[in-house]
Structure 1
Amino acid sequence: MDLHVSEAMGRPDLIRLDDGLLCLRFETMKIVSALAAVRHLLDTGTVRRGDTLIDSSSGIYAYALALACHRYGMRCHIVGSTTVDHTLRTQLDVLGAHVEQMPPSSDLKLDQSRRVARVREILRDHPGHHWMRQYHDDVHYLGYEAVAALVREETGGGPLTLVGGVGSGASTGALAHYLRKNSVDVLLVGVQPYGSVTFGSEHVADPEIIIAGIGSSIPFGNVRHDLYDTVHWLAFDAALAGSVDLLRRHAVFAGLSTGAAYLAARWERSEQARRNVLFIAADTGHRYVDTVFARHREAAAIEDLTPRPVHGTAELTLPWSRMTWQGAPAPRAAINDQVGTGRQPPGGGGSRPRRS
């Protein structure tokens, strides 16, 4: 029996959608990393019950951290993006989190920079607060060790292609790390939006939006580029088509980043018939009812969408590009020398095996 609702909400479902195509479905994925991170900080004496944990968030991590603080008796302070909606803001208020929300901005980089600057101001005035640094601290890898064990057990430990949004690195990267640590043959496929510095697409603008949660306009310190074998970049319209098709074909109601991962996973499955291909559904589709699912009639047929193969980021074009990454180093614009930890994820091991 679970002792707190966050434990139930953080437990994923593994669903076989088709021959060789698997979906790892979360209600809210970042609960996994937030719970384990807070527990680790308490166990190591870094923080104590009653302390205030602070971080910046565009939405999902804010909810996850608020639940973890509720679970472990901590105070929670969130500097939220302009994208935090009324429903989430209300839940955070009731859970006891203190929320500061940035003013409206059409510039994602400005929104992210403002949030980080505000966190630093708060820490200057309240040095006893602990900054969770979800984008930079490898402690957020820890929660995925149990998820990797579940995947390994349910798939029999055979060859696996793992597909999902890169985000802060503490999801696809962490799962690949722990699976490889246990000798699973894993090909890691990262999904990125256009306009993200993480894998070098900041020079290509998406006329719609940057897909929240899987990319960034500022460097993230806990993305391990050496873990990734392949990268897909998808625009909003392609991800919308993927989300709509996933609901229509498989009845899985999931967010926009999942639609992008689903398209990439289908393509990888068509190229690798002998491997199971598993993609991550990081959250449900409720936040996207108006912006995505209400537009289902204009969604392109996914059979008409194929990625353009590119050999360098200078060749990236909308709506979908694919590049063999092969563990290459991070692009210079993706390196933040001041905040990167430079550490291996907790637990050691798990390096990306070199392939001929």
Structure 2
Amino acid sequence: MSDGIDAHVADAVGRPDLVRLDDRLVCLRFETMKVLSADAAVRTLLETGRIALGDTVVDSSSGIYAYALALACHRHGLRCHIVGSTTVDDAARLQLELLGATLERMPPSDDLKLDQSRRVARIRELLAADPRLHWMRQYHDDVHYLGYQPVAQRLRDALGPEPLTIVGGVGSGASTGGLARYLRAGDPPRDPTRVVAVQPFGSVTFGSEHVCDPEIIIAGIGSSIPFANVDHAVYDVVHWTGFTAALSGAVALLRDHAVFAGLSAGAAYLAGRWERDLAPDRTVVIVAADTGHRYVTDVYARHTEAVPLDTLAPQTAAGTDELALPWSRMDWAGAHGPPEALSDDPR
């Protein structure tokens, strides 16, 4: 707003901070990153007439997108129904309830693929029973890219025309994909922004489903089912980080720079330091998608297990058949996604 006061808390929660970690390493720190994509998506759908005031929107979420969509619906006068994973904790559940959203939890499951598939199947049941519902399709509709346009502009305003490398989790594909789209639109063709994907082992998105990480709790940056919003061709490099490596990165990010962020930010910090050292002519921006509060018990309480980052190095893989814990790196070079990761985007 012109008076400098936000019209809704979604603006404040979604606005990222830029924190310089060193001369060539910057942290793009969010309180809750998906607030940007959900708010821009809902606003665009309303403006284009695809939904109307009072409609009910529905989507699947393991927690962060649920809160983001509930905020957007609260702001824009919509009803919200979430088909959620059992990972939606009490703090998120209570906020959803008070924001007016309804939450339908799936039965507990240790199988990520089963959990994600079951949530999507439940949404299709709801749509069949009530065609007036609008499925937000955070995994399939690139309307979710739009929220990252102002973030890309902010990066350019702050860092100028210098060559950039973006390092961040992939997840549904909208965040790093959106930043790539909008940054590259203004880049010189000879030196576009480089984009480095951070993935967990066990994710189908870049072909690591055959590598099991028994302690994986960073599934939000990967997936066991295909996501149509992931544009594999925008990625130059992929880093796969196991739980122990990501934990060490998260603890080091807090110890070294006082940035309290989620486990995916720890993975991005680990990968970002490596990419910085490989390309001394570029500034590396790591994406911290959320704060560390959800990870206090499972990550930060285990800080004594962290190892110095200088003792870790990724295994260089020529193909996904060479991936190995705790950390692997592969030049992706804009290749197509593996067949198992390509979605035909069914409604």
Please indicate the TM-score interval, normalised by the length of the shorter structure.
over 0.9
Which residue does the alignment assign to 2:306?
299
Matches of 2:302 and 2:208, distance apart in 1:
26
Q: Is 2:140–2:345's contact at 8 Å kept on the other side of the alignment?
A: no
Pick from 165, 181, 186 the counterpart of residue 182 of structure 1: 186
Aligned length: 340
Q: Mind listing any 5+ residue stretches in structure 1 that lack a counterpart?
A: 341-356
- Given residue 39 of structure 2, which amino acid in structure 1 is its aligned partner? L
Report the 3-state secondary structure (helix = DSSP H, G, I; strand = E; otherwise coil) of the residue aligned with 1:329: coil
Structure 1 segments of 4 or more deviating over 4 A?
A: none
- Given residue 332 of structure 1, which amino acid in structure 2 is its aligned partner? P
Q: Is 1:195–1:210's contact at 8 Å kept on the other side of the alignment?
A: no
Matches of 2:187 and 2:24, distance apart in 1:
20
Matches of 1:295 and 1:187, distance apart in 2:
33
Residue 266, structure 1, aligned to residue 273, structure 2 = yes
Q: Is 1:55–1:77's contact at 8 Å kept on the other side of the alignment?
A: yes
- Given residue 235 of structure 1, which amino acid in structure 2 is its aligned partner? G
Matches of 2:346 and 2:288, distance apart in 1:
28
Q: Mind listing any 5+ residue stretches in structure 2 that lack a counterpart?
A: none
Which residue does the alignment assign to 2:209?
202
Pick from 18, 24, 29 the counterpart of residue 25 of structure 1: 29
Give the TM-score taking structure 1 as reference length: 0.94
- Given residue 209 of structure 2, which amino acid in structure 1 is its aligned partner? E
Matches of 1:314 and 1:115, distance apart in 2:
30
TM-superposition CA deviations, 1:41-67 (whole Å, max 9, x none): 000000001100100000000000000
Matches of 2:63 and 2:110, distance apart in 1:
16
Pick from 317, 321, 331 the counterpart of residue 310 of structure 1: 317
TM-superposition CA deviations, 1:150-173 (whole Å, max 9, x none): 001101021001100011110011
- Given residue 118 of structure 2, which amino acid in structure 1 is its aligned partner? R
Report the 3-state secondary structure (helix = DSSP H, G, I; strand = E; otherwise coil) of the residue aligned with 1:266: helix
**Alpha-carbon shift at residue 212 of structure 1 (Å):** 2.7
**Alpha-carbon shift at residue 210 of structure 1 (Å):** 4.5
Which residue does the alignment assign to 2:8?
4
What does 1:140-159 align with in structure 2 at a 5 Å threshold? 140-159=144-163
Which residue does the alignment assign to 1:349?
none
Matches of 1:329 and 1:34, distance apart in 2:
27
Give the TM-score taking structure 2 as reference length: 0.97
TM-superposition CA deviations, 1:121-169 (whole Å, max 9, x none): 1111111010000011100000100100000110102100110001111
Q: Is 2:63–2:85's contact at 8 Å kept on the other side of the alignment?
A: yes
Residue 56, structure 1, aligned to residue 63, structure 2 = no
Identity %: 67
What does 1:1-356 align with in structure 2 at a 5 Å threshold? 1-183=5-187, 185-339=192-346
**Alpha-carbon shift at residue 338 of structure 1 (Å):** 3.7
Matches of 1:60 and 1:333, distance apart in 2:
25
Report the 3-state secondary structure (helix = DSSP H, G, I; strand = E; otherwise coil) of the residue aligned with 2:107: coil
